[in-house]
Amino acid sequence: MLKIIKLKRGLNIKLKGEPEKIFGAAEKPVKYALKPTDFIGLTPKLVVQEGDKVKIGSPLFLDKNKPEIKFVSPVSGTISAINRGEKRKLLSIVVAPDYADDYIKHDVDDLEKMTREQIINVILESGAFPFFIQRPYGIIANPNDVPKAVFVSCFDSSPLAVDYDFALQYDAEYLKKGIKVLSKLTNGNVNFGISKKMLGSTIFNTEFLNVQNITINVFDGKHPAGNVGVQISHVNPISKGDIVWTIKPQHVVMLGKLFEKGIYDANKVVVLAGSRVERPCYFRLHAGAAISVFSNQIKKESEKENRIISGSVLSGAQISDDDYIGFYDDQICVIPEGKYNELLGWARPLRMKKFSMSHSYFSWIMPNKKYNLDTNYNGSPRAFVMNGQYEKVLPMNIYPVYLLKAILANDIDKMEQLGIYEVIEEDLALCEFVCTSKIDVQEILRSGINSMIQEMS
Amino acid sequence: MILKKIVEKLKPTFSKGGKLGMFHSTFEAFESFLFVPETVAKPKGSHIHDSIDLKRTMSVVIMAVMPAMLFGMWNTGYQHFLSIGEEVSFIDTFFYGFFKVLPLIIVSYVVGLAIEFTSAQIRGHEVNEGYLVTGILIPLIMPVDVPLWILALAIIFAVIIGKEIFGGTGMNIWNPALLARAFVFFAYPSKISGDKIWVAGLENAQNVADGFSGATPLSFAASNEIDKLPDTMDMFLGIIPGSIGETSTIAILLGAALLIFTGIASWKIMASTVAGALCVGFLANALGGTPYLEIPAWQHLIMGGFAFGAVFMATDPVTSAQTETGKWIYGFFIGAIAVIIRLFNPGFPEGMMMAILLMNTFAPLIDHCIVQANIKKRMKRKSIL
């Protein structure tokens, strides 16, 4: 019998526009892009020029500090644009596809016969290495490290998220292969976190149990129970000096395909969701697809602005309508912008259209109501006044406000002591959501992690 | 929407560089009071936000104080007419008290908000809503006859020395409302202690009714005149002399229910404060000796400012302990120390104010120990392979 880890703290925010469990037919994207800005802390080194022909899996840029880490094209075609921002910062490398599906082939042997080094080399060479995000810091892993464990969260508990059980239903074989690859990468455990709801009916369960070296942890709780950071902290918390690798389920499938077929296949499942989407559902696309393919799916009314988010509404990044799906994201959310003034909003007794965890409004009366939330702050920023709020939505043994204050004071020792190694932005995203003082928790946390990286390097 | 147009029209004048640019914080305060700002989430981070903000939070607290305040107004009138032996209608009783208390509230808000706006202006911050609550709490913990200039002076002290020099709401160490009371207590002791000051007009009254003393239950108790203590029910309902808002336990409990239900004040602090008081109370009962030591422990909960302090003062989110474990310790000591001062200190009949201010001082230390324990645990943790 599996042990169920029950998480009491957390919050499920129910939003309108949850994806229906069907695959929609999207038009073929005419552009794909790889965005160096998706990779935190990366200094990219461009290796292609405008007009170059690329295959699926051809490197577009490298990590300047670790050139063995390659970032490759998701499709075959021609480099049609290289976009730069301020100070010539590389923003995106755009590929116009030729739909030829011309792959770069990698030599893969039987996994059992390959050494860890050989496996890592294939992963590096194929461009799959950026799949691995390390904790602490939430940056691309270092290929020279041997992680003490690998963690995969098989469910996303954030609002409007992908249900991997549905999304990966046809990929069970690749998933299994991918898991075998993972088990070769660490001396410790490969940990899979599944939700209590997934017990029994899921593709994950039966597949996993056949593979050695795998631990399945069952989590029962509200968001952020599906965050890999939360799962790590309950299974094998990160102490100073520890390194853990994390990878998303879809990337495990891609890893499986790499070692099954020898190719970098960037095909993945993405959900288009949110209250401003005509018919929210799942799509099969290649990573980096231009989201303009969804333009006819997004509601347009002249008086209402939309916000398109690559990633979750709690911790994703705003993108424009001619932008591309983020490398790690499998969720595009479209919600209304909240640029309006609300007369005496805070004094309105009901405000039924708004959601609050606090009982000072009345959303507690209808726990199943779905909300059409917009991007308004619903208040103005203040100093920390209330206490105990963040703790209610953070199921980790961390004092978030003390950590944030240590970051604001730039006290490296205190940050370390208060557990900065254990969290990244998404873990504290709900704290930002519930904050009475409207403090930009995630921004502060990232600045703390950045100073930590600088200090330790 | 006319309102919106007016605001938009005035905005350039009050913006930085505008004619009245120096008042931009003040303008912003009024603007954001009228309209929830149109600020939207940053491109990275949480794109949605909970609808709660500090204005909402503070208005809930103010609503929670209302029963105690309204009862206080009525009781002010009731005690006054009782003292002169007159019987008047409910309406007259209430409005006598209303017009006695209203000036205190007005002075409190005018003086306090003036300082608050000025310091926000100096710092270039937005005006914080914290004083909206402090401003109503201060009059309620004063005797009704406190001279307005003393009240004003106390507020100036509490807001400037107690709060603004630390950086404003959120940064202060002591509860500003209690600091104002403490100021009066030490600077003008004759205005806030004794038997004559708790009932409106009693100090200079010519025609006091026979047998009316005006002393609070605590001062009877402190002088071991237990037989003179009012009826338990009267104390619970609050038909006793005392500071304006503190007398009615039942009205305060109504407020406590709202605060606990909305999650705005910590039930842990309230519960542990009560537990602390009962512990010391029971110990005193066991010890015995004087009649005061022998009054049932629970009576402490309905006398004096205990209930008001436990519900509205101890739970101040800024000055209380911040950690959940810390809250239990913090509250327990408040209750315990308050009753210890009541029972064993001949100088002060009431100990709640002192207890809370003292524990405000120690709250960061309590939190430090709790957080340090968390740190130690983290540092000692062996990594598991």
B371 touches chain A (CB under 8 A): yes
Residue A132, in any domain of the structure? yes
> Is A133 found in the same domain as A43?
no
> Which comes out higher in pLDDT, residue B127 or A246?
A246
Q: Which of A216, A177, A224, A182 is nearest to A199 (CA)?
A: A216
Per-residue pLDDT at A59? 94
Sign of the dihedral through C-alpha A90, A92, A97, A102: positive
Is-contact A325 A92, C-beta < 8 A? no
Q: List the single range of A263-277, B7-21, B83-97 with lowest mean pLDDT.
A: B7-21
pLDDT at position A130 is 95
Residue A22: strand, helix, or coil: strand
The answer on A96 and A150 residing in a single domain is no
Whether residue A129 is contained in a domain is answered as yes
Which pLDDT belongs to residue B180? 92
The C-alpha R_g of chain B, in whole angstroms, comes to 23
User: Mean pLDDT of all residues in chain A?
Assistant: 89
Asked if A358 reaches chain B (Cβ–Cβ under 8 Å), the answer is yes
| Mean pLDDT to the nearest integer, B53-70 | 91
Q: Which amino acid is at A232?
A: I
**Residue B17: pLDDT band with limits 50, 70, 90:** low
Q: What percent of chain A has pLDDT over 90?
A: 62
Dihedral (Cα; B370, B371, B377, B380), 10-degree rounding: -130
Can you give the pLDDT at residue B322? 92
pLDDT surpasses 60 at B385 = no
Q: Are residue A13 and residue A120 in the same domain, yes or no?
A: yes
- A150 and A10 fall within a common domain: yes
Least confident stretch, A81-90, A155-164, A306-315, B224-233: B224-233
pLDDT of residue B20: 66
* Range in A92-106, B194-208, B361-375 with the lowest mean pLDDT: B194-208
pLDDT per residue over A307-362, tens digit each? 999 999 999 999 998 899 999 999 999 999 888 777 776 777 777 778 888 888 88
**What is the rounded average pLDDT of the residues B5-11?**
72
Are A154 and A19 in the same domain?
Answer: yes
So what's the pLDDT on residue B220?
79
Across A131-150, average pLDDT: 93
Mutate to test the interface with A, among B53, B58, B360 (most CBs of A within 10 A): B53
Regarding whether A227 and A94 lie in a shared domain, the answer is: no
Residue B190 pLDDT class (50, 70, 90 cuts): confident
A8 and A146 together in one domain: yes
AA identity, residue A38: D
Q: Is the pLDDT of residue A134 over 90?
A: yes
The predicted model gives A357-384 an average pLDDT of 85
| Pairing mode of beta strands A317-319, A342-343 | unpaired
Which DSSP string corresponds to A336-365?
E-----EETGGG-S--TTS--SSTTSSGGG
Same domain (yes/no): A100, A121: no
Cα A13 from chain centroid (whole Å): 18
Report pLDDT for A208: 63
Whether A367 is covered by a domain: the verdict is no
Q: What's the number of domains chain A is made of?
A: 3
Tens of pLDDT, residue by residue over B305-342, are 899 999 999 999 999 999 999 999 999 999 999 999 98
Last residue of one domain, picked from the residues A261, A296, A317: A261
Q: Which residue of B lies nearest to A149 if distances are taken between CA atoms?
A: B385
pLDDT average, residue stretch B158-180: 89
Instruction: Count how many Cα atoms sit within 13 Å of the Cα of residue B297 in the half-sphere of its side chain.
Output: 18
- Chain A hits for B325, Cβ within 8 Å: none
The residue ranges of DSSP E strands in A2-88, in sequence order, are 4-7, 20-23, 32-34, 44-46, 53-54, 59-63, 70-72, 77-84
Tell me, yes or no, whether A139 lies in a domain: yes
Are the Cβ atoms of A385 and B266 closer than 8 angstroms?
A: no
Q: Is the pLDDT of residue A187 over 90?
A: no
CA distances from B173 to B151, B316, B338 (A): 21, 11, 19
Q: Indicate which of A232, A275, A359, A385 best probes the interface with B, i.e. most B CBs within 10 Å of its own CB.
A: A385
* Within a domain: A423: yes
- Whether A294 maps to a domain, the answer reads no
- At A209, is the pLDDT very low, low, confident or very high (cuts 50, 70, 90)? low
The verdict on residue A335 lying in a domain is no
A134-151 burial by CB neighbour count: b if 16+ within 10 A, else e? bbbbbbbbbbeeebbbbb
Categorize the per-residue pLDDT at A212 as very low, low, confident or very high, splitting at 50, 70 and 90.
low
In chain B, what percentage of residues exceed pLDDT 90?
A: 43
User: Average of pLDDT values for B187-204?
Assistant: 79
Task: Examine residue A453 and state whether it is found in any structural domain, yes or no.
Answer: yes
Q: Note whether B276 and B332 are within 8 A (CB).
A: yes
Higher pLDDT, A363 or A211: A363
> What is the pLDDT at residue B291?
80
CB A346 within 8 A of CB A288: no
Determine the pLDDT at residue A304.
78
Best mutation target, B6, B24, B49, to test chain A (most A CBs within 10 A)? B49
Which A residues, 390 through 419, put their C-beta within 8 Å of a C-beta on chain B? 391, 397-399, 401-402, 417-419
User: Does one domain contain both A62 and A130?
Assistant: no
DSSP letter at B234? H
pLDDT digits over B134-157, tens only? 999 999 999 888 889 999 999 999
Task: Please report the pLDDT score of residue A207 as a whole number.
Answer: 59
Alpha helices in A101-227 (DSSP H): 116-126, 164-167, 172-185, 203-209
Would you list the DSSP string of B112-155?
Answer: HHHHHHHHHHHHTPPPPTHHHHHHHHHHHTS-TT--HHHHHHHH
Could you tell me if A114 and A101 lie in one domain?
Answer: no
- DSSP for A405-430, please give it: HHHHTT-HHHHHHTTGGG--GGGGHH
Chain B contacts in chain A segment 196-255 (CB below 8 A)? 236-242
What's the average model confidence in pLDDT over B234-261? 90
Least confident of A375-379, B9-13, B87-91, B168-172: B9-13
Judged against a pLDDT cut of 90, whether residue B361 lies above it is answered with: yes
Percent of chain A whose pLDDT exceeds 70: 97
Q: Is B12 on the interface with A (CB under 8 A)?
A: no
Average pLDDT of the residues in B222-237: 80
For residues A147 and A76, membership in a common domain is answered with: no
| pLDDT level of residue A234 (50, 70, 90 thresholds) | very high
**Two tokens at B183?**
């100021």
Q: What is the mean pLDDT of chain B?
A: 86
Closest chain B residue to A430 measured between Cα atoms? B46
Partner residue facing B262 (CB), from A360, A402, A440: A360
Domain C-terminal end among A261, A280, A302: A261
A9 shares its domain with A150: yes
CATH number of the domain within which A69 lies: 2.40.50
CB contact under 8 A, A341 and B37: yes
Of A105, A136, A152, the residue at which a domain comes to its end is A105
Enumerate residues 6+ apart whose C-beta is below 8 A from A35.
A91, A92, A288, A324, A326, A327
> What is the extent of the structural domain holding A98?
32-105
